Amino acid sequence: MPASNCSYGLRELLGKVLKRNTKRIDQSSGNEITEMESVTKKDRISNLPWDVLDGILVRLPLKEVVRTSILSSRWRHKWTGISQFVIDDKCIPRWISDKVARWELIMEILRQVQLHHTGPIEKFKLAAYCRPDHSDLDQWIHYLTNKGLKEFILQEFDTIKRFNLPFCLFSCPLLNRLELFGCRIKPSSEAIGFKSLANLHLNEVCVTGGMLECLVLNSPVLERLTLLNIDHQIVLRIGNANLKYLKVDSNFDDIYLENSPSLASVDIGLRVRVIPLYFGSEEGNLNRVIGCLHAIKKLTLSSAMLAFLGNNDIPDKLPTLLRHLSVLELKDVRLDSLIEVLVCVCIFRSAPNLEELHLSVADTTEYSRPAADFLITKLSNHYFEKLKVAKIRAVQNVQNETIFIQLLLAHSPLLKRMTIVHYGSRFLPTEALEQSVPASKDVEIFNLCV
pLDDT of residue 22: 42
The answer to whether residues 429 and 397 touch, using CB atoms and an 8 Å cutoff, is yes
The answer to whether residues 229 and 208 touch, using CB atoms and an 8 Å cutoff, is no
Q: Which residues of the chain have pLDDT under 50?
A: 1-11, 13-14, 16-41, 276, 278-280
The model's pTM is 0.83
pLDDT of residue 4: 41
pLDDT of residue 31: 43
Q: Give the residue from 94, 22, 5 showing the smallest Cα distance to 57.
A: 22
The answer to whether residues 149 and 177 touch, using CB atoms and an 8 Å cutoff, is no
The ranges assigned to domains in the chain are: 83-263, 281-450
pLDDT tens column, 180-225: 999 999 866 556 889 999 999 999 999 999 999 999 999 999 999 9
Phi, psi of 224 (to 5 degrees): -130, 130
Q: Which H or E run includes 12?
A: helix 3-21
Q: Taking the mean position of all CA atoms in its chain, how far away is CA 287? A: 26
Which residues touch 20 (CB under 8 Å, ≥6 apart)?
none
The answer to whether residues 443 and 418 touch, using CB atoms and an 8 Å cutoff, is yes
pLDDT of residue 78: 67
Indicate the SS3 state at residue 34. Answer: strand
CB atoms within 10 A of CB 160: 8
Q: Taking the mean position of all CA atoms in its chain, how far away is CA 387? A: 26
CA distances from 436 to 139, 406, 407, 410 (A): 66, 5, 8, 6
pLDDT of residue 276: 47
pLDDT of residue 423: 75
Say which CATH class 281-450 falls into. alpha beta
Indicate the SS3 state at residue 280. Answer: coil
Residues 214-227: b if buried by 16+ CB within 10 A, e if exposed: bbbbbbeebbbbbb
Which residues touch 51 (CB under 8 Å, ≥6 apart)?
none
Cα 416 from Cα 367, distance rounded (Å): 29
